[in-house]
Amino acid sequence: MARNDRGSRRPSPPSECFSSPDDQASPEPMPRRSLLRLCALTIGGAGLNAFPRSPAAGAEERRVTADRSLIVRSRRPLNLESSVASLGDRLTPADEFFVRSHFGAPAVDLLPWEVEVVGLVDRPLRLSRDELGRMEQATRTAVLQCAGNGRGLYRPRVPGVPWERGAVGQAEWAGVRLAELLDRAGPHKDAAHVHFLGADSPPTPKIAPFVRSIPLDRARDEGSVLALRMNGQPLPTLHGGPARLVVPGWAGNNWFKWVRRIVVARDEAPGFYMQTAYRMPRTPAPPRPGQPAVPLDPVTWMNVKSLITAPGRGDVVPGGRVEIRGVAWTGQGHVTRVDVRIGADGRWREAALLDQPEPGAWRRWRLEWEPDRTGRIAITVRAADSTGAVQPPVPAWNKSGYLWNGHDEVEIEVRGVGAQQ
Protein backbone atom coordinates (compact mmCIF):
# COMPACT_ATOMS: atom_id res chain seq x y z
CA MET A 1 0.00 0.00 0.00
CA ALA A 2 1.37 3.42 -0.93
CA ARG A 3 2.21 5.68 1.98
CA ASN A 4 -0.49 8.23 2.67
CA ASP A 5 0.88 11.74 2.15
CA ARG A 6 -0.45 12.87 5.49
CA GLY A 7 1.09 9.87 7.22
CA SER A 8 4.53 10.60 5.72
CA ARG A 9 4.77 13.95 7.48
CA ARG A 10 5.97 14.37 11.02
CA PRO A 11 2.67 14.12 12.93
CA SER A 12 1.49 16.34 15.73
CA PRO A 13 1.39 14.54 19.08
CA PRO A 14 -1.69 12.26 19.12
CA SER A 15 -3.92 11.81 22.12
CA GLU A 16 -2.60 8.31 22.83
CA CYS A 17 0.88 9.60 23.68
CA PHE A 18 0.24 13.15 24.85
CA SER A 19 -2.72 14.46 26.81
CA SER A 20 -4.50 17.77 26.93
CA PRO A 21 -4.96 19.41 30.34
CA ASP A 22 -8.49 18.02 30.35
CA ASP A 23 -7.11 14.48 30.05
CA GLN A 24 -5.21 14.91 33.30
CA ALA A 25 -8.09 16.46 35.23
CA SER A 26 -9.75 14.61 38.07
CA PRO A 27 -12.06 11.95 36.63
CA GLU A 28 -15.78 12.56 36.73
CA PRO A 29 -18.59 10.01 36.56
CA MET A 30 -20.94 10.18 33.59
CA PRO A 31 -24.48 8.82 34.00
CA ARG A 32 -26.03 7.27 30.90
CA ARG A 33 -28.38 10.20 30.18
CA SER A 34 -25.49 12.67 30.18
CA LEU A 35 -23.43 10.30 28.05
CA LEU A 36 -26.09 10.14 25.36
CA ARG A 37 -26.35 13.94 25.29
CA LEU A 38 -22.57 14.18 24.92
CA CYS A 39 -22.60 11.55 22.16
CA ALA A 40 -25.19 13.53 20.21
CA LEU A 41 -23.05 16.67 20.46
CA THR A 42 -19.81 14.86 19.69
CA ILE A 43 -20.74 12.68 16.74
CA GLY A 44 -23.88 14.20 15.29
CA GLY A 45 -26.36 11.71 13.89
CA ALA A 46 -24.34 8.76 15.12
CA GLY A 47 -25.06 9.74 18.72
CA LEU A 48 -28.59 8.36 18.57
CA ASN A 49 -27.20 4.92 17.76
CA ALA A 50 -24.32 5.12 20.21
CA PHE A 51 -25.78 2.61 22.65
CA PRO A 52 -28.85 0.42 22.08
CA ARG A 53 -31.09 0.40 25.13
CA SER A 54 -31.23 -3.39 25.22
CA PRO A 55 -29.14 -5.21 27.88
CA ALA A 56 -26.30 -7.67 27.51
CA ALA A 57 -27.30 -11.04 26.11
CA GLY A 58 -28.92 -13.20 28.79
CA ALA A 59 -29.07 -10.38 31.35
CA GLU A 60 -32.12 -8.59 32.67
CA GLU A 61 -32.69 -4.90 31.92
CA ARG A 62 -31.20 -2.82 34.71
CA ARG A 63 -30.73 0.85 35.42
CA VAL A 64 -27.18 2.21 35.35
CA THR A 65 -26.63 3.29 38.96
CA ALA A 66 -24.00 5.74 40.18
CA ASP A 67 -21.35 3.10 40.85
CA ARG A 68 -21.67 1.90 37.23
CA SER A 69 -21.33 5.33 35.65
CA LEU A 70 -18.65 5.69 32.99
CA ILE A 71 -15.68 7.85 34.00
CA VAL A 72 -14.77 10.70 31.64
CA ARG A 73 -11.06 10.65 30.82
CA SER A 74 -11.38 13.14 27.95
CA ARG A 75 -14.29 14.66 26.05
CA ARG A 76 -12.64 15.57 22.74
CA PRO A 77 -11.85 12.96 21.65
CA LEU A 78 -14.29 10.98 23.76
CA ASN A 79 -12.57 8.54 26.13
CA LEU A 80 -14.66 6.89 28.83
CA GLU A 81 -13.54 4.35 31.45
CA SER A 82 -15.81 1.67 32.86
CA SER A 83 -16.56 1.50 36.55
CA VAL A 84 -15.02 -1.63 38.04
CA ALA A 85 -18.51 -2.46 39.36
CA SER A 86 -19.56 -2.99 35.71
CA LEU A 87 -16.93 -5.67 35.11
CA GLY A 88 -18.03 -8.52 37.35
CA ASP A 89 -20.44 -10.21 34.94
CA ARG A 90 -19.79 -12.61 32.12
CA LEU A 91 -20.67 -9.87 29.61
CA THR A 92 -20.25 -6.11 30.04
CA PRO A 93 -23.31 -4.13 28.88
CA ALA A 94 -22.60 -1.87 25.90
CA ASP A 95 -23.72 1.25 27.76
CA GLU A 96 -21.24 0.50 30.58
CA PHE A 97 -18.38 -0.53 28.27
CA PHE A 98 -15.30 1.71 28.06
CA VAL A 99 -14.88 3.92 24.98
CA ARG A 100 -11.52 4.66 23.32
CA SER A 101 -11.10 7.00 20.36
CA HIS A 102 -8.29 9.01 18.81
CA PHE A 103 -10.34 11.46 16.73
CA GLY A 104 -13.93 10.77 17.80
CA ALA A 105 -16.50 8.54 16.13
CA PRO A 106 -17.56 9.29 12.53
CA ALA A 107 -21.20 9.99 11.66
CA VAL A 108 -21.60 6.54 10.14
CA ASP A 109 -25.29 6.83 9.25
CA LEU A 110 -24.67 9.67 6.80
CA LEU A 111 -23.15 7.34 4.19
CA PRO A 112 -24.01 3.90 2.77
CA TRP A 113 -21.66 1.49 4.55
CA GLU A 114 -19.41 -0.73 2.45
CA VAL A 115 -16.27 -2.69 3.26
CA GLU A 116 -13.63 -3.19 0.57
CA VAL A 117 -11.00 -5.93 0.41
CA VAL A 118 -8.24 -4.84 -1.99
CA GLY A 119 -4.47 -4.90 -2.45
CA LEU A 120 -2.57 -8.10 -3.22
CA VAL A 121 -5.69 -10.14 -4.02
CA ASP A 122 -7.02 -11.90 -7.11
CA ARG A 123 -10.66 -10.85 -6.60
CA PRO A 124 -11.19 -7.45 -4.96
CA LEU A 125 -14.41 -7.29 -2.92
CA ARG A 126 -16.90 -4.55 -2.09
CA LEU A 127 -19.61 -5.63 0.37
CA SER A 128 -22.46 -3.68 1.95
CA ARG A 129 -23.38 -4.17 5.59
CA ASP A 130 -26.45 -6.15 4.45
CA GLU A 131 -24.27 -8.45 2.34
CA LEU A 132 -21.91 -8.95 5.26
CA GLY A 133 -24.91 -9.77 7.45
CA ARG A 134 -26.08 -12.47 5.03
CA MET A 135 -22.75 -14.29 5.17
CA GLU A 136 -22.18 -17.08 7.68
CA GLN A 137 -21.81 -15.50 11.13
CA ALA A 138 -19.32 -16.49 13.83
CA THR A 139 -19.61 -15.59 17.53
CA ARG A 140 -16.72 -14.96 19.92
CA THR A 141 -16.82 -14.08 23.62
CA ALA A 142 -13.67 -12.07 24.20
CA VAL A 143 -12.00 -9.44 26.37
CA LEU A 144 -11.33 -6.05 24.80
CA GLN A 145 -8.67 -4.15 26.74
CA CYS A 146 -7.04 -0.88 25.76
CA ALA A 147 -3.26 -1.25 25.45
CA GLY A 148 -2.99 1.68 27.89
CA ASN A 149 -5.28 0.24 30.58
CA GLY A 150 -3.48 0.97 33.86
CA ARG A 151 -1.30 3.72 32.42
CA GLY A 152 -2.23 6.00 35.30
CA LEU A 153 -0.73 3.48 37.75
CA TYR A 154 2.83 3.54 36.37
CA ARG A 155 5.52 5.35 38.35
CA PRO A 156 7.23 7.46 37.15
CA ARG A 157 4.11 8.76 35.44
CA VAL A 158 3.90 8.65 31.66
CA PRO A 159 1.95 10.93 29.28
CA GLY A 160 -1.28 9.77 27.67
CA VAL A 161 -4.87 9.08 28.67
CA PRO A 162 -4.53 8.19 32.39
CA TRP A 163 -6.58 4.99 32.40
CA GLU A 164 -6.63 3.16 35.72
CA ARG A 165 -8.53 -0.16 36.10
CA GLY A 166 -11.54 0.06 33.79
CA ALA A 167 -10.36 0.40 30.17
CA VAL A 168 -11.45 -3.20 29.66
CA GLY A 169 -14.64 -5.19 29.15
CA GLN A 170 -15.95 -8.44 27.76
CA ALA A 171 -18.67 -8.88 25.17
CA GLU A 172 -20.13 -11.42 22.81
CA TRP A 173 -19.02 -10.33 19.34
CA ALA A 174 -20.66 -11.71 16.20
CA GLY A 175 -19.80 -11.20 12.55
CA VAL A 176 -17.93 -12.58 9.57
CA ARG A 177 -14.70 -14.51 10.02
CA LEU A 178 -11.91 -12.44 8.53
CA ALA A 179 -10.50 -15.59 6.96
CA GLU A 180 -13.74 -15.98 4.98
CA LEU A 181 -13.36 -12.51 3.47
CA LEU A 182 -9.70 -13.12 2.67
CA ASP A 183 -10.43 -16.49 1.07
CA ARG A 184 -13.06 -14.90 -1.16
CA ALA A 185 -10.58 -12.24 -2.24
CA GLY A 186 -7.68 -14.70 -2.80
CA PRO A 187 -4.46 -13.20 -1.31
CA HIS A 188 -1.30 -13.44 -3.42
CA LYS A 189 1.47 -15.79 -2.31
CA ASP A 190 3.75 -12.91 -1.29
CA ALA A 191 1.10 -11.30 0.95
CA ALA A 192 2.08 -11.20 4.65
CA HIS A 193 0.08 -8.39 6.31
CA VAL A 194 -3.44 -7.00 6.34
CA HIS A 195 -3.95 -3.22 6.71
CA PHE A 196 -7.13 -1.63 8.07
CA LEU A 197 -8.53 1.82 7.32
CA GLY A 198 -11.56 3.25 9.07
CA ALA A 199 -14.09 6.03 8.56
CA ASP A 200 -12.67 8.24 11.33
CA SER A 201 -10.24 10.97 10.34
CA PRO A 202 -7.85 13.35 12.13
CA PRO A 203 -9.02 16.92 12.75
CA THR A 204 -6.19 18.45 10.69
CA PRO A 205 -3.90 17.20 7.87
CA LYS A 206 -0.91 17.68 10.21
CA ILE A 207 -2.02 14.69 12.31
CA ALA A 208 -1.39 11.21 10.94
CA PRO A 209 -4.44 9.09 10.09
CA PHE A 210 -5.06 6.03 12.23
CA VAL A 211 -3.92 3.09 10.07
CA ARG A 212 -2.75 -0.23 11.46
CA SER A 213 -2.10 -3.79 10.29
CA ILE A 214 -1.89 -7.32 11.63
CA PRO A 215 0.04 -10.27 10.18
CA LEU A 216 -1.85 -12.32 7.61
CA ASP A 217 -1.63 -15.49 9.69
CA ARG A 218 -3.31 -13.71 12.63
CA ALA A 219 -5.99 -12.37 10.30
CA ARG A 220 -6.66 -15.94 9.16
CA ASP A 221 -6.89 -17.22 12.73
CA GLU A 222 -10.15 -18.90 13.67
CA GLY A 223 -10.84 -16.24 16.31
CA SER A 224 -10.41 -13.12 14.13
CA VAL A 225 -13.80 -11.66 13.19
CA LEU A 226 -15.15 -8.58 11.47
CA ALA A 227 -17.85 -7.97 14.08
CA LEU A 228 -21.27 -6.53 13.24
CA ARG A 229 -23.01 -7.25 16.56
CA MET A 230 -22.20 -6.84 20.25
CA ASN A 231 -24.09 -8.72 22.96
CA GLY A 232 -26.76 -9.73 20.47
CA GLN A 233 -27.43 -6.20 19.17
CA PRO A 234 -26.11 -4.18 16.19
CA LEU A 235 -22.62 -2.94 17.04
CA PRO A 236 -22.96 0.55 18.62
CA THR A 237 -21.26 3.41 16.83
CA LEU A 238 -19.04 4.30 19.78
CA HIS A 239 -17.77 0.72 19.85
CA GLY A 240 -16.82 0.69 16.16
CA GLY A 241 -20.14 0.02 14.45
CA PRO A 242 -21.18 -0.90 11.86
CA ALA A 243 -18.03 -3.07 11.59
CA ARG A 244 -14.93 -3.53 13.73
CA LEU A 245 -12.12 -6.04 13.97
CA VAL A 246 -12.11 -8.52 16.87
CA VAL A 247 -8.78 -10.19 17.67
CA PRO A 248 -9.21 -12.34 20.82
CA GLY A 249 -6.15 -12.35 23.08
CA TRP A 250 -4.62 -9.23 21.53
CA ALA A 251 -4.76 -5.72 23.00
CA GLY A 252 -7.37 -3.26 21.78
CA ASN A 253 -5.01 -1.29 19.52
CA ASN A 254 -5.45 -4.19 17.09
CA TRP A 255 -9.27 -4.21 17.30
CA PHE A 256 -9.73 -1.68 14.51
CA LYS A 257 -13.00 0.33 14.54
CA TRP A 258 -15.31 1.60 11.77
CA VAL A 259 -13.62 -0.64 9.17
CA ARG A 260 -14.14 0.59 5.60
CA ARG A 261 -11.10 -0.78 3.78
CA ILE A 262 -9.03 -3.95 4.20
CA VAL A 263 -5.76 -3.95 2.23
CA VAL A 264 -3.70 -7.11 1.78
CA ALA A 265 0.01 -6.19 1.52
CA ARG A 266 3.57 -7.49 1.80
CA ASP A 267 4.67 -5.27 4.67
CA GLU A 268 3.36 -3.76 7.89
CA ALA A 269 1.31 -0.59 7.55
CA PRO A 270 3.40 2.58 7.39
CA GLY A 271 2.69 5.66 9.43
CA PHE A 272 2.85 6.86 13.02
CA TYR A 273 0.27 4.54 14.59
CA MET A 274 2.04 1.39 13.39
CA GLN A 275 5.71 2.32 13.24
CA THR A 276 5.98 4.60 16.31
CA ALA A 277 2.92 4.31 18.56
CA TYR A 278 1.74 1.04 20.11
CA ARG A 279 5.22 -0.44 20.29
CA MET A 280 7.00 -1.75 23.39
CA PRO A 281 10.66 -2.43 24.22
CA ARG A 282 11.66 -5.99 23.44
CA THR A 283 13.76 -5.87 26.63
CA PRO A 284 12.37 -3.76 29.51
CA ALA A 285 14.64 -0.89 30.53
CA PRO A 286 14.44 1.28 33.67
CA PRO A 287 13.52 4.97 33.19
CA ARG A 288 16.77 6.91 33.33
CA PRO A 289 18.32 9.74 31.28
CA GLY A 290 20.59 8.71 28.47
CA GLN A 291 19.09 5.22 28.18
CA PRO A 292 20.16 3.84 24.78
CA ALA A 293 17.45 2.98 22.26
CA VAL A 294 16.21 -0.60 22.32
CA PRO A 295 14.31 -2.58 19.65
CA LEU A 296 10.55 -2.09 19.76
CA ASP A 297 7.85 -4.58 18.81
CA PRO A 298 4.15 -3.96 18.14
CA VAL A 299 1.81 -4.40 21.12
CA THR A 300 -0.04 -7.65 20.44
CA TRP A 301 -0.77 -10.29 23.12
CA MET A 302 -2.25 -9.19 26.43
CA ASN A 303 -0.52 -10.41 29.57
CA VAL A 304 -2.08 -12.27 32.49
CA LYS A 305 -4.15 -10.00 34.72
CA SER A 306 -6.87 -10.08 37.38
CA LEU A 307 -9.25 -7.57 38.89
CA ILE A 308 -11.29 -7.40 42.10
CA THR A 309 -14.82 -6.30 41.20
CA ALA A 310 -16.42 -6.71 44.67
CA PRO A 311 -16.12 -5.48 47.30
CA GLY A 312 -15.09 -2.09 45.93
CA ARG A 313 -12.42 0.25 47.18
CA GLY A 314 -13.53 1.95 50.38
CA ASP A 315 -16.56 -0.30 50.88
CA VAL A 316 -17.73 -0.89 54.44
CA VAL A 317 -18.68 -4.51 55.10
CA PRO A 318 -20.41 -5.94 58.18
CA GLY A 319 -19.17 -8.91 60.13
CA GLY A 320 -20.02 -12.33 58.78
CA ARG A 321 -19.24 -14.07 55.54
CA VAL A 322 -17.94 -11.87 52.69
CA GLU A 323 -17.76 -12.99 49.06
CA ILE A 324 -14.76 -11.56 47.20
CA ARG A 325 -15.34 -11.63 43.44
CA GLY A 326 -13.54 -10.65 40.28
CA VAL A 327 -12.39 -11.55 36.78
CA ALA A 328 -9.08 -12.72 35.34
CA TRP A 329 -7.84 -12.96 31.75
CA THR A 330 -4.76 -13.44 29.62
CA GLY A 331 -3.62 -13.35 26.00
CA GLN A 332 -2.09 -16.69 25.09
CA GLY A 333 -3.49 -19.78 26.75
CA HIS A 334 -6.04 -19.42 29.55
CA VAL A 335 -6.20 -18.53 33.25
CA THR A 336 -5.47 -21.54 35.45
CA ARG A 337 -5.33 -20.03 38.94
CA VAL A 338 -6.31 -16.95 40.93
CA ASP A 339 -4.89 -16.30 44.41
CA VAL A 340 -6.15 -13.79 46.97
CA ARG A 341 -4.22 -12.31 49.89
CA ILE A 342 -6.17 -10.74 52.75
CA GLY A 343 -4.47 -8.37 55.16
CA ALA A 344 -0.76 -8.42 55.86
CA ASP A 345 -0.28 -12.09 56.79
CA GLY A 346 1.29 -12.85 53.39
CA ARG A 347 -0.78 -16.01 52.86
CA TRP A 348 -2.28 -16.56 49.40
CA ARG A 349 -5.62 -18.39 49.22
CA GLU A 350 -6.75 -20.04 46.02
CA ALA A 351 -10.03 -18.71 44.64
CA ALA A 352 -12.64 -20.82 42.84
CA LEU A 353 -12.62 -20.31 39.07
CA LEU A 354 -15.96 -20.02 37.29
CA ASP A 355 -16.64 -20.40 33.55
CA GLN A 356 -14.85 -22.81 31.26
CA PRO A 357 -11.54 -21.77 29.65
CA GLU A 358 -12.15 -20.02 26.33
CA PRO A 359 -9.44 -18.40 24.16
CA GLY A 360 -9.41 -14.65 24.70
CA ALA A 361 -12.20 -14.66 27.32
CA TRP A 362 -12.02 -13.88 31.01
CA ARG A 363 -12.93 -16.22 33.84
CA ARG A 364 -14.88 -15.01 36.82
CA TRP A 365 -13.59 -16.07 40.24
CA ARG A 366 -14.75 -15.90 43.85
CA LEU A 367 -13.52 -16.54 47.36
CA GLU A 368 -15.58 -16.68 50.55
CA TRP A 369 -13.97 -15.08 53.59
CA GLU A 370 -15.10 -14.45 57.15
CA PRO A 371 -13.32 -11.49 58.80
CA ASP A 372 -11.96 -12.08 62.28
CA ARG A 373 -11.35 -8.43 63.14
CA THR A 374 -12.64 -4.95 62.42
CA GLY A 375 -10.76 -2.12 60.80
CA ARG A 376 -9.24 -1.38 57.40
CA ILE A 377 -8.08 -4.44 55.51
CA ALA A 378 -6.32 -4.71 52.13
CA ILE A 379 -7.31 -7.42 49.66
CA THR A 380 -4.83 -8.30 46.88
CA VAL A 381 -5.24 -10.61 43.88
CA ARG A 382 -2.94 -12.21 41.32
CA ALA A 383 -3.53 -14.67 38.46
CA ALA A 384 -1.52 -17.31 36.57
CA ASP A 385 -2.08 -18.79 33.12
CA SER A 386 -1.43 -21.99 31.17
CA THR A 387 1.83 -20.64 29.71
CA GLY A 388 3.32 -20.40 33.22
CA ALA A 389 3.05 -16.60 33.41
CA VAL A 390 2.18 -15.13 36.83
CA GLN A 391 0.85 -11.63 37.42
CA PRO A 392 3.69 -9.60 39.00
CA PRO A 393 3.37 -7.21 41.97
CA VAL A 394 4.47 -4.35 39.65
CA PRO A 395 5.18 -4.72 35.91
CA ALA A 396 8.30 -3.45 34.17
CA TRP A 397 8.00 0.24 33.32
CA ASN A 398 7.70 1.42 29.73
CA LYS A 399 7.55 5.01 28.47
CA SER A 400 4.12 4.66 26.84
CA GLY A 401 2.44 3.01 29.82
CA TYR A 402 1.26 -0.08 27.96
CA LEU A 403 0.01 -3.40 29.36
CA TRP A 404 -0.01 -2.66 33.10
CA ASN A 405 -0.72 -5.92 34.94
CA GLY A 406 0.42 -5.38 38.54
CA HIS A 407 -1.44 -7.01 41.42
CA ASP A 408 -4.89 -5.50 41.92
CA GLU A 409 -5.71 -4.32 45.44
CA VAL A 410 -8.68 -2.84 47.27
CA GLU A 411 -8.86 -1.60 50.84
CA ILE A 412 -12.14 -2.07 52.71
CA GLU A 413 -13.39 -1.40 56.20
CA VAL A 414 -14.82 -4.22 58.31
CA ARG A 415 -17.24 -3.39 61.12
CA GLY A 416 -19.03 -5.44 63.71
CA VAL A 417 -16.47 -8.19 64.44
CA GLY A 418 -15.56 -8.02 68.13
CA ALA A 419 -13.02 -5.52 69.34
CA GLN A 420 -10.53 -3.99 66.92
CA GLN A 421 -7.14 -5.68 67.10
pLDDT tens digit string along 95-133?
A: 999 999 999 999 887 678 999 999 999 999 999 999 999
Q: Kindly give, in sequence order, each residue whose CB lies less than 8 Å from that of residue 266, ignoring residues fewer than 6 positions away.
A: 120, 190, 191, 192, 193
CB 355 within 8 A of CB 90: yes
pLDDT of residue 35: 58
The per-residue DSSP string of 14-56 comes to: PTTTS--GGGGSPPEEE-HHHHHHHHHHHHGGGGGGSS-SS-S
Q: Which residues contact 395 (CB under 8 A, 6 or more apart)?
A: 303, 403, 404, 405, 406
At 288 the pLDDT is 75
Mean pLDDT, rounded, for 332-352: 95
In this predicted structure, what is the pLDDT of residue 251?
Answer: 98
In contact, 362 and 320? CB cutoff 8 Å: no
Question: Using an 8 Å Cβ cutoff, are 253 and 212 in contact?
Answer: yes
Phi, psi of 162 (to 5 degrees): -85, 60
- From the list 50, 102, 95, the residue with the least C-alpha distance to 73 is 102
Q: Which residues contact 307 (CB under 8 A, 6 or more apart)?
A: 84, 87, 165, 168, 326, 327, 328, 381, 408
**Domain 305-415, what fold?**
Immunoglobulin-like (2.60.40)
In this predicted structure, what is the pLDDT of residue 109? Answer: 79
- Report CA-CA distances (Å) from 260 to 181, 199, 233, 395: 13, 6, 20, 36
pLDDT grade for 421, boundaries at 50, 70 and 90 = very low
pLDDT value at 404 more than 90: yes
Q: Which amino acid makes up residue 248?
A: P
What residue segments make up the domains of the chain, in order of their start? Answer: 103-298, 305-415
User: Contact at 8 Å (CB) between 120 and 361?
Assistant: no
If one compares 420 and 8, the residue with the highest pLDDT of the two is 420
Count the neighbouring beta carbons within 10 Å of the beta carbon of residue 418.
Answer: 10
Instruction: Share the mean pLDDT of the chain.
Output: 86
For the cut 70, the answer to whether the pLDDT of residue 301 exceeds it is: yes
Q: What percent of the chain has pLDDT over 90?
A: 75
Radius of gyration in angstroms for the set of CA atoms belonging to the chain, rounded to a whole number: 22
Q: How far apart are CA 210 and CA 277, in angstroms?
A: 10
Tens-place pLDDT, residues 56-89: 433 333 333 437 899 999 999 999 999 999 999 9
* Element at 383 (helix H, strand E): strand 375-385
Pairing of strands 279-281, 259-265: unpaired
pTM: 0.86
> Does 389 score more than 60 pLDDT?
yes
Torsion on CA atoms 295, 296, 300, 303, rounded to nearest 10: 70
Percentages (nearest 5) of helix, strand, coil residues in the chain: 15, 30, 50
What is the fold, at CATH topology level, of the domain defined by 103-298? Sulfite Oxidase; Chain A, domain 2 (3.90.420)
pLDDT at 31: 59
The mean-pLDDT minimum among 100-109, 263-272, 283-292 falls in 283-292
Per-residue confidence (pLDDT) for residue 30, from 0 to 100:
59
pLDDT 10s digits, 6-58: 333 333 333 333 333 333 444 666 555 555 555 544 443 344 344 444 344 33
Which of the four pLDDT bands, split at 50, 70 and 90, describes residue 285?
A: confident
Q: Give the side-chain half-sphere CA count within 13 A for 131.
A: 10
